[in-house]
Amino acid sequence: MDKFTVLTAIAAPLPEENIDTDKIIPARFLKTTRRSGLGVHAFDSMRYRPDGTENPDFVLNQEPYRKAEILITYDNLGCGSSREHAPWALLDFGIRCVIAPSFADIFNNNCFKNGILPIALPRDVCTQLMEDARQGANSRLTVDLARQVIVRPDGQEVPFDVDPLRRQLLLEGLDDIGQTLQHEKAITTFEQRRAKAQPWIPHIVLD
């Protein structure tokens, strides 16, 4: 996983609520056995017309937002399925940070695990940042994870909250498994204790 420290980038405004995981990546594109290559299908139904040509009205088909690395939306971004293909598609498109008033739980988790920083901010702040984003290519936002602030194009700083453990893992680009395995002794102890207390828990063994 890539580290996330300071990101200065173009932000794309997508002022919609309840952007679901089927919108981010429709199910018919989930047949891959790899993590990469999904960017071309990100927001497929909004980005392309039925004949496969680009829909010029969709923000990510417009300059400068084709190069957006930040996405700003309204409430409940990523609702729906648990498919990690949703953050993989965003990441493959180039998105490293998503900003919204709220996120669906699993999507929020999946973002962190793929080096995408989800930032929850009040709706009116999201609206302001969308206004900033509409000012064009020179109007970039800076997301500083170490200082936990977004720097607006006029220099004003917007502070944000982030889970301290998640923040640390993103800053260092660490994956969870290695970290959990440092607690392997505790896992083994737990298993031994439970095998005694609840010996009836069956093992799944097929003939």
Partner 1 sequence: MAPRTLFDKIWDSHVVETLPDKTAILYIDRHLVHEVTSPQAFEGLRLSGRRLRHPDATIAVVDHNVPTSDRTLPIEEADSRNQIETLERNVREFGVPYFPLLSARQGIVHVVGPEQGISLPGMTIVCGDSHTSTHGALGALAFGIGTSEVEHVMATQTILQKPAKNMKVVVEGQVGPGVTAKDIMLAIIGHIGTAGGTGHVIEFAGSAIRELDMAGRMTICNMSIEAGARAGLVAPDETTFEYVRGRPFAPKGEAFDEAVAYWKTLASDEGAHYDRVVELRAEDITPVLTWGTSPETVIPVTGNVPDPASEADPSRRAQMQRMLDYMGLEAGQKIAGTPVDVVFIGSCTNSRIEDLRAAASIAAGRRVAPGVRAMIVPGSGIVKAQAEEEGLDKVFLEAGFEWREAGCSMCLGMNPDRLTPGQRCASTSNRNFEGRQGPGGRTHLLSPAMAAAAAVTGTLTDVRELI
- Applying CB under 8 A, the residues found at the interface with partner 1 are 15-18, 20, 22-23, 26-28, 30-35, 45, 50, 74-76, 79-84, 87, 102, 104-106, 109-110, 113-114, 163-165, 175-177, 180-181, 183-184, 186-187, 190-191, 194, 198-206
Q: How far is the CB of 98 from partner 1 (least distance, A)?
A: 15
Inter-residue contact 114 to 88 (CB < 8 Å): yes
Q: How far is the CB of 142 from partner 1 (least distance, A)?
A: 26
Q: Which is nearer to partner 1, 50 or 155 (CB)?
A: 50
**Closest-CA residue to 100 (of 129, 57, 135, 68):** 129
Q: Which is nearer to partner 1, 56 or 199 (CB)?
A: 199
Q: How far is the CB of 35 from partner 1 (least distance, A)?
A: 5
Q: How far is the CB of 155 from partner 1 (least distance, A)?
A: 28
Long-range (24+ apart) CB contacts under 8 A made by 171-180 are 171/3, 171/4, 171/5, 171/145, 171/146, 172/3, 173/1, 173/2, 173/3, 173/4, 173/115, 174/1, 175/1, 175/113, 176/113
**Closest-CA residue to 145 (of 66, 88, 70):** 70
Q: Which is nearer to partner 1, 85 or 140 (CB)?
A: 85
